[in-house]
Structure 1
Amino acid sequence: MSFLVQTLSRYFFRRYMVTFASYCLAILFLIFLVDFNESGRRLSVSEDYTVALGLLISLLRVPTVLQALIPFVVLIASIATLLQLNRKYELVVTRAAGVSAWQFLAPLIAANLLIGALSITALNTFAAYALQTAESIVVERNLGSRQTDSGAPWLRQRTAEGDTVLGARATSDGGTRLSDATFFLFDKDQRIRERLEAESAVLGDGVWELTGVKRIRRSEPVESLDSATVPTNLKAEFVGESLTSAETVPFFELGGKIATAKSFGLPATSYEMQFHRLLAQPALLAAMTLIAAMVSLKFVRFGQSLTAILGGILAGFVLYVVSELIQAFANAGTIPPVVAAWLPVVVASALGTTVLLHKEDG
């Protein structure tokens, strides 16, 4: 029996990995097409935009999007694999040989744990650096809005000349290079004395160096300047911690980012959320296997393949929505990031295990 289980395990493992790779390639191609179309629509207004540049930016963004979609790819691949095995009566023969559902699900769970481990190490590291490169291209070519979110957060700095509030539509180089930057300069009475809009801004030694500047003052015409400087006492490390997106930080560097942010007195919620979400991903993929089995094994008895597929996709979608809602609460500081990351995994695993125990073991 032991030899039979080992042989079947290798066979099911291989079948699942082939199916997963096929779906992964299809999803990659779809992500690329959608992203290229959306990026082209948004960035083509720039004179520096070319089709080749758009292709490069989309290729660099694909790994980040894929990592976010891996749980859904795993869910669909698991459902497809189990349905294929059912359709060819391979699971029927396996059960007749005395192999339990838990034994033939073990190779799929092991495969997804492996995929999860590779996702948070190799894929995440590559995706983070690729996204950094994509953002740098957008900023350096001044192509438009940031690729990862609606805009960078605003920062306030205090100097002898008064306070300055600054923000940008895009950042790169750890937040020290800004694109479409805006600076609001206040006087000592906390009234806005002027506004500077720059095509780009780079953090230098004690100053922000602005290029392509429009100076706007009250009751005065707009003044165009080739360059300008704004005094600052901000350090590159502080700016980087404030403006860097958690998605552009590799998994193994998140711990250092969290410690550095806390040492500056900055909120580290986004870094902590990213760290625990990545850490929980292997367990989440294993839970997706249980959800897939929960809806796919029913096909043996009732032959409802379409119902199984729709049920599995719906279950995955509900899990995704719940995860996003919990993450929103975590970002607002309502619940700890570790709870927000692991609670959906625990609930999905408990639900899948309970249903399978009821169906398979009575």
Structure 2
Amino acid sequence: MIGTLFGYIAKRYMLYLLMVLGGICSIVFMFDCMELLRIAYGNELGWLVLLKLAMMKNYKHIQQVLPFAICIATIMTYSSITKTFELIVARCCGVSVWQFLCPVITIAFIVGMVNIFIFNPIGASILHKYEKLYATHLKRQTSTTVMVSANGLWLRDTVGDNNIIVHATKISEHQNRLLDVIFFITDQEHKFVQRMDAEYAELEEGSKWCLHNVDIVQEQGYVERTDVNCIPTNMSFGQIKESLVHPETIPIYKLQSFIEATKNSGFSTVRHLNYLYKTLLSPFFYISLVLVSLFFSTSMPRFSKTGRNITLGIMFGIVIYFVSDLISALGISGRIPLMLSCSAPTLICMSIGLYLTLHYEDG
């Protein structure tokens, strides 16, 4: 009997989860298309490219709405079997709350694990391509992403007719400096113009790079040494930090090595660590949402409307979403330990869910 009940609840939950997730993503997809149409007005962008951009962006929205979908699907599943007295009959036959919770908890955990190890690498690649396409077709410029490797960082700037490629061993965020730096300057046809090797380069916001203790290699091959040499730039130090690769575009199995390389280069890795911890904890967060959602679906009066339960569940999800963002902001700013800020939403939801389940359902 337990096996039959497990399969029955699991199938119903999967159906509701796919329905809710598909419905929300379809609505978001339509709004994305309208937003991209507005942005692309006058750019003569084809429909196929717009649809491609909207579909690529949809992966990010799936990650954001998945917790809401899990809440709603849980409420719909248990509300439906409560209304038809199936859950009541099962309880009368001696089935405990944990036995009829097991199918949904198992699926929520599996969804979290599949999301981490299968969908995350695929989605990271999709989002990376989306950012490139968006920069090319809508911003009409080449992406200025900072590339970080084991031997330092690379960035690119365009000033007038020249392309400037910069390599630095390390960055000093507090002093707005690049350390042990090399500037490669080429023309529009990517022909060598000049190379500058400097002890460090200091950025005067939005105006120029000032290179100190510089060896300048000219096109003809001779070397000139100077104490300070300044060249114009279009970038600011804030843009350099912001253009660092977003954590969502890096597969989870590459993220740890990227964080180490980024940290060695002098960049702050708080955002990337925050994303890594929250992603790894997501299966347990989904389980905690299932426990809390059960309260909204079985503690209401027998003939209450499912719509009211879903509304209450959505309101709870919104509260958790904003509280989670607030705690994450405190962790990223250094007010509280980062590990605590990442695990706090899961621990809070799990504690509330266990209390409600033990007190109202299993008590």
Please report the TM-score for the alignment, with normalisation by the length of structure 1: 0.74
State the shift of 1:28 in Å. Answer: 2.2
SS of 1:334's equivalent? coil
Residue pair 1:86, 1:299 contacting (<8 A) in 2 also: no
Matched, 1:119 2:120: no
Alignment of 1:137-286 (within 5 A): 137-141=133-137, 143-144=138-139, 170-172=143-145, 174=147, 196=159, 203=165, 206-207=183-184, 243-286=244-287
Which residue does the alignment assign to 2:12? Answer: 15
- Distance in 1, matches of 2:187 and 2:53, equals 25
- Distance in 2, matches of 1:312 and 1:210, equals 59
Matched, 1:42 2:19: no
Residue pair 1:174, 1:240 contacting (<8 A) in 2 also: no
SS of 1:243's equivalent? coil
Which protein has the larger Cα radius of gyration, Structure 1 or Structure 2? 2
Cα displacement string for residues 316-356 of structure 1 (whole angstroms, at most 9, x for unaligned residues): 11110000001111221222322111101000010011011
- Distance in 1, matches of 2:5 and 2:264, equals 53
Equivalent residue for 1:56, pick from 45, 52, 55: 52
Which residue does the alignment assign to 1:152? Answer: none
Residue pair 2:136, 2:142 contacting (<8 A) in 1 also: no
Cα displacement string for residues 268-321 of structure 1 (whole angstroms, at most 9, x for unaligned residues): 101101101101110111111011101111135463534322221111111100
Q: Which amino acid aligns with 1:255?
A: Q
Which residue does the alignment assign to 1:70? Answer: 66
| Aligned positions, number | 300
Matched, 1:319 2:296: no
Residues 274/335 of structure 1: CA separation in 2 closer, same or farther (3 Å cut): same
- Distance in 1, matches of 2:295 and 2:331, equals 30
Residue pair 1:241, 1:257 contacting (<8 A) in 2 also: no
- Distance in 1, matches of 2:73 and 2:49, equals 33
- Distance in 1, matches of 2:187 and 2:94, equals 73
- Distance in 2, matches of 1:283 and 1:129, equals 25
- Distance in 1, matches of 2:84 and 2:302, equals 14
Please report the TM-score for the alignment, with normalisation by the length of structure 2: 0.74
Matched, 1:131 2:130: no
Q: Which amino acid aligns with 1:118?
A: V
SS of 1:207's equivalent? strand
Cα displacement string for residues 225-274 of structure 1 (whole angstroms, at most 9, x for unaligned residues): xxxxx799xxxxxx799611111111111111111111112211011011
- Distance in 1, matches of 2:84 and 2:163, equals 62
SS of 1:114's equivalent? helix
Which residue does the alignment assign to 1:148? Answer: none
Residue pair 1:78, 1:292 contacting (<8 A) in 2 also: yes
- Distance in 2, matches of 1:177 and 1:17, equals 45
SS of 1:299's equivalent? coil
Which residue does the alignment assign to 1:328? Answer: 329
Q: Which amino acid aligns with 1:76?
A: I
Q: Which amino acid aligns with 2:359?
A: H
* Structure 2: gaps of 5 or more residues: 149-153, 168-182, 189-205, 208-230, 234-239
Which residue does the alignment assign to 1:103? Answer: 99
Residue pair 1:63, 1:123 contacting (<8 A) in 2 also: no
Matched-pair identity in %: 27
State the shift of 1:108 in Å. Answer: 0.2
For the aligned residue pairs, the C-alpha RMSD in angstroms reads: 3.2
Residue pair 1:242, 1:266 contacting (<8 A) in 2 also: no
